[in-house]
Amino acid sequence: MKLTARNTHRDIAYFYLGLIIAFSFSGIFLNHRQAWHPRRYKAEIKEITVAPVHKDSVNDTFIASFTQQQDITDNLRRFALNGNILRVSYVNHDVDLDITTGAGSIVHYKITPVLGQMTILHVDTSKWWIYYSDVFGVAMLVIAGTGMFIVKGENSFRRRGWKFALVGIIFPLIFLFLLS
């Protein structure tokens, strides 16, 4: 096989096709995670009633005891008291509890099969994945660079493609600097 821009572009794109598709979907999902988060869909909502609690009693010890009493086994993220409402966030659960009445609810979240796992690609920080992502980033640069030299003639990068590329660079900068 001859080493040309077209062959290099095609073969690298074929190799990374699955990852490009997965990154595209997971990026879209993460952009809209306020409305629907594939890593956290509500699997179960359980109403609970506990003894009323005084505001001064809400501390790490109380949260640890509450967690054990409710059989919540995942890791605590944070807790906050807003007026009389205690909100406790775990990796796979959220708790809202009115400390004056003791009434509350526990929401248990599950990961959406396949779609939830794909979003992990965007947020994973393991060392091997970072290296693989770096190689992927370089490959995307190669695909972009070789793509500039595939088409010849009046539709070439030199004649017309650079205009689209310039707009493609300016467009996100508008959002970055003017609209944020």
DSSP 98-139: ETTT-EEEEEEEEPPTTHHHHHHHHH---HHHHHHHHHHHHH
Interacting residues of 78 by C-beta distance below 8 A, sequence separation 6+: 88, 89
Q: Is the pLDDT of residue 26 over 90?
A: no
The mean pLDDT value for 21-30 works out to 79
pTM score over 0.75:
no
The partner residues of 42 in beta bridges, in order of sequence, read 109
* Overall average pLDDT of the 29-38 stretch: 73
The model's confidence at residue 69, banded by pLDDT at 50, 70 and 90, is very high
Q: Cα angle vertex 45, ends 44, 51, to 5°?
A: 140
**Mean pLDDT score of the chain:** 86
Which tens digits make up the pLDDT trace of 86-98? 999 998 899 999 9
